[in-house]
Each structure stands twice: as C-alpha cells, then as structure tokens.
Amino acid sequence: MRSSSVDFYILQALKKEQSHLTSHEVFERIQGQLPAVNPSTVYRALERLVKGSKVSISDMGTGAEVYELAEGETHHHLVCQNCGKIITLHHEEVDGFFQKLENDKNFKILTNHLVLFGICEECQNKSSDPEK
C-alpha cells in the first residue's frame, strides 16, 4: 500500500515534468509531497517501475541516468557532448532504420528511447577554426 502510493507520486512527478529526471531529482519532487519518504524507497520504486515498463531509464551522458515516463509517444534524442543540448526525435525519424535492422539482422529491437551522442550544429560552427 505504501509503496504503491510512492509509485503514484513518481508517475505524477514524471508526467508533470514531461522530461528526464535523475533519481535524485525524482526523490526531491516526491519529498515535496511525502516529506517522510526516504531515498531508498523512491529508488526502489523507480527500479520497479522500470521493470514494469512504466518508466524508461537512459544514459544521456550527463553522468547520472535519467528517468522518463514510458507512456505516450516514443521518442529518441541526439545529445551534444559539447554543450549538452538535447534534440528530440520523433519515432518516425528512426523507425525506418530500426525496421531495416530488424529485417536485415532478424533482430527484434526493444529500445524505446535511443540516445545518440555527437556535436550539435552550433558547436560544430564554433570549433571550425583552430585545431584541424
């Protein structure tokens, strides 16, 4: 009973945020609602939600894994390693690539939140002077 209400608050927090939160950020938001909650309860609840596919977990290169509501539209990201900018891709933009891999390799892709690292346009323009 107690743990399911934590689940509820986590899902609410992620829904409200509509973006990625680290486990610590999730905890901070839950603490606002349930002042007596302890971090390990929140972290365990997050793990459970990930296992139950209610929440997705990904490495956005920020040093801490981030959580996001798994429901709603499937999307992916391009992350600039230089400035940390995140570009969100609709699933249709990578769907063709996924389908090609599935057909060619006879491999069923389960990844529902692809994160690709690189350098954004702005940063490419900035660094086009010295070095090379």
Name the H helices within 1-132: 2-17, 23-33, 39-51, 91-105, 121-126
CB 103 → Zn ion: shortest distance, Å? 26
Q: Which of 64, 57, 47 is nearest to 3 (CA)?
A: 47
* Contact region with Zn ion (CB under 5 A), list: 31-39, 40-48, 101-109, 118-126: 118-126
Phi, psi dihedrals of residue 78, rounded to the nearest 5°: -110, 130
Residues touching Zn ion, count (CB under 5 A): 7
Is 82 a residue that touches Zn ion (CB under 5 A)? Answer: yes
* Contact region with Zn ion (CB under 5 A), list: 1-9, 22-30, 96-104, 113-121: 113-121
One residue of 64, 83, 101, 116 binding Zn ion per CB under 5 A: 83
